[in-house]
Structure 1
């Protein structure tokens, strides 16, 4: 069972690291440490991972041996679980948002409730007589033991309150939102229901069975742990999906645009004076794309004195004659003019006496769409020295 629990903890910890290291997609977006939603999400997921680590039988045995106190891992795990429950409430509060004063007030209320609960768990354990070490069935073994009984019920009630509240909020809020946020809320709702039904109800049933003289310990030892792991993973996916998926899609598209700009960059990059950032294997596609976009615009500016309107006009007429739309013909003509300008600059020729005042389409539109169009047209453009002669020779990729 320890392996399954450690695996769940590892997945949660990795999710927290990915979210914390998530790059800002816009310049005005606050850094991770200044974003309450990111911080609360990372804290909640990290605490969830720690709960699983602490609840593993191997960890419990190690903690008990290290402290010399039988079952010391129990209040540690239950206190950590209560802190995790509190962090989920705070995360939900930050996610829902609202006036800062209201958010702060609700967060302090949550801490005010679960702080004493954690203290009560530790105090009740200290008052109880629990000298027999139990690594997998402590809840049912000590279900009738004074103080331990109250401690077990207390941590279960604290966790149940949070999961029920999360399920209710997800249902209500899900009616008001759409898209990824609604999908995330549905995942959180499924995780909360699975936690209540698969973990808490099985625990309650096993404990109550002990109170009535029956033995249903398998519910607590065999069913509850994997259900809790699955519920936590689903809830975490619900919190992470609306935050990570848009950035992942943006970076995937950025990688595609970066590659599609290759023909344009290989043709004009030699004249760019934009400072190159230090090469880093972990540099994300959006950062690479931004640097390439800036560098290409810098190169286009440097090549402007070499632009020849006659080449562009001849190429435009040829493209229109070939059945292209006016926009396609314009981009193809610009690519031919740019290719000729790059050839002159590479040959160290002097700029034209009367350089063109023409503006490329790629410099008139925002984003990388115009540059991508120009790059794809440039990949199909005949070499500049043959354009003047009216012949066709493919320009190598």
Structure 2
């Protein structure tokens, strides 16, 4: 069972690593900080609750069952961290948020202190690594300690359920999805972990043996509930960034035809020197390098090539925007050929602003790159064939191919 619990703790903890990937920014953001604190404390609860950890802690301290108040105290700290996270997530005036956080921390701080005191007063000399809750269910002070930690955790989960239900009616999108996942995790915790614990303890009071609920059913249900909650907390914060990087990777690849055409004249690097750079960083470097190359090629723009290509595209039934892109692709191909051959700038050269430089972001460059890929004469440049000849023989676009 220890291996399963440790794996759950590892997956749980990795979520906080993803959220805390920018430490300097994260420590100044109460929401990120409280999210990471809640997830880390949840992972520590699993680590402390593993039988292997309990046995090691008991052996190191020389106190039988010392791991019990340690685990229960950590669980109370996790419950408090979840409430603090919800308070910060909900937001509001800073003084109100601060007071709510302080009240929650004070309440659970007293709860942890009470658990420690009750353990010190109890007679619990027999080490129990997996069934302590039921074994000591009728022992004075231990009984109260067990009930106290369960009630403290139940209160936090019930509050979390109420907040998620109320708030999910007011928001939409990923935030609502995250809240529903948190609600699902809290319900799994309430039913799968806490209700089974309460049932097993109450059965002991009644003289029955339902220990399997506490030792076999409750631990995996607690792991599942915590993982679902962590996904709910992390999803609204991580998914937008993941999607942005995915779109960045797609744009980076679609810029391939344009970069292949102009990279020989660009003085900026086409990609970061570090191989581990994320897609958005790579896309930014490619954009900068392409814009640098377009500035270098600007003196070679031949307006006659552009006008012929535009007229041919309009005559083929293309929209004005598509005709402009096809014309600019032909003109850029001709300019790249002239630059590669070290020719003199054409007589019809002059200042011209490409559509790709008029729109923010990479969308304009991507359109130009795809127009280049569809242009039949693009394959001839910049090797030496005159690209002006295909401008009068524009055909229907071929199927796009992502570079």
Smaller-chain TM-score range? over 0.9
Deviation digits for residues 118-169 of structure 1 (CA, Å, limit 9, x no counterpart)? 1221222122111100000001111111221111111111100000000000
TM-score normalised by L of structure 2: 0.92
Aligned with 2:254 (options 236, 251, 260): 260
Change (3 A) 1:179 1:88: same
Matches of 1:94 and 1:181, distance apart in 2: 14
1:353 Cα deviation (Å)? 5.3
Aligned residues: 390
Deviation digits for residues 18-54 of structure 1 (CA, Å, limit 9, x no counterpart)? 222279xxxxxx8222221111111111111110111
Is this contact kept in 2: 1:386–1:392, CA < 8 A? Answer: no
Partner of 1:273: 267
Deviation digits for residues 177-197 of structure 1 (CA, Å, limit 9, x no counterpart)? 111111111111111111111
1:314 Cα deviation (Å)? 1.0
Are residues 1:98 and 2:92 paired?
A: yes
Is this contact kept in 2: 1:335–1:374, CA < 8 A? Answer: yes
User: Which has the larger displacement, 152-161 or 313-322?
Assistant: 313-322
1:352 Cα deviation (Å)? 4.2
Partner of 1:157: 151
SS in 2 for 1:355: coil
Partner of 1:190: 184
Aligned with 1:293 (options 287, 295, 302): 287
SS in 1 for 2:128: coil
Matches of 1:115 and 1:180, distance apart in 2: 33
1:392 Cα deviation (Å)? 6.8
Matches of 1:362 and 1:388, distance apart in 2: 21
Q: Which runs of 5 or more residues in structure 2 are unaligned?
A: 396-402
Deviation digits for residues 38-74 of structure 1 (CA, Å, limit 9, x no counterpart)? 1111111111111011101111111111221111111
Query: What does 1:175-254 align with in structure 2 at a 5 Å threshold?
Result: 175-254=169-248
Deviation digits for residues 181-234 of structure 1 (CA, Å, limit 9, x no counterpart)? 111111111111111111111111111222222222111111111111111111
Matches of 1:393 and 1:329, distance apart in 2: 10
Is this contact kept in 1: 2:334–2:386, CA < 8 A? Answer: no
User: Which has the larger displacement, 144-153 or 270-279?
Assistant: 270-279
Query: What does 1:1-397 align with in structure 2 at a 5 Å threshold?
Result: 1-21=1-21, 31-274=25-268, 278-352=272-346, 355-381=349-375, 382=377, 383=380, 385-389=385-389
Is this contact kept in 2: 1:311–1:337, CA < 8 A? Answer: yes
1:276 Cα deviation (Å)? 6.5
1:271 Cα deviation (Å)? 2.5
| CA-based RMSD | 2.1
SS in 2 for 1:318: helix
1:281 Cα deviation (Å)? 3.0
1:279 Cα deviation (Å)? 2.4
Is this contact kept in 1: 2:334–2:388, CA < 8 A? Answer: no
SS in 1 for 2:318: coil
1:254 Cα deviation (Å)? 0.7
Q: Which runs of 5 or more residues in structure 1 are unaligned?
A: 24-29
Is this contact kept in 1: 2:270–2:286, CA < 8 A? Answer: no
SS in 2 for 1:365: coil
Matches of 1:362 and 1:278, distance apart in 2: 22
Partner of 1:27: none
Matches of 1:386 and 1:392, distance apart in 2: 13
Is this contact kept in 1: 2:312–2:393, CA < 8 A? Answer: no
TM-score normalised by L of structure 1: 0.93
User: Which has the larger displacement, 378-387 or 61-70?
Assistant: 378-387
Matches of 2:84 and 2:33, distance apart in 1: 10
Is this contact kept in 2: 1:386–1:393, CA < 8 A? Answer: no
1:393 Cα deviation (Å)? 11
Partner of 2:399: none
Is this contact kept in 1: 2:272–2:281, CA < 8 A? Answer: no
Matches of 2:275 and 2:141, distance apart in 1: 56
SS in 2 for 1:386: coil
Change (3 A) 1:270 1:33: farther
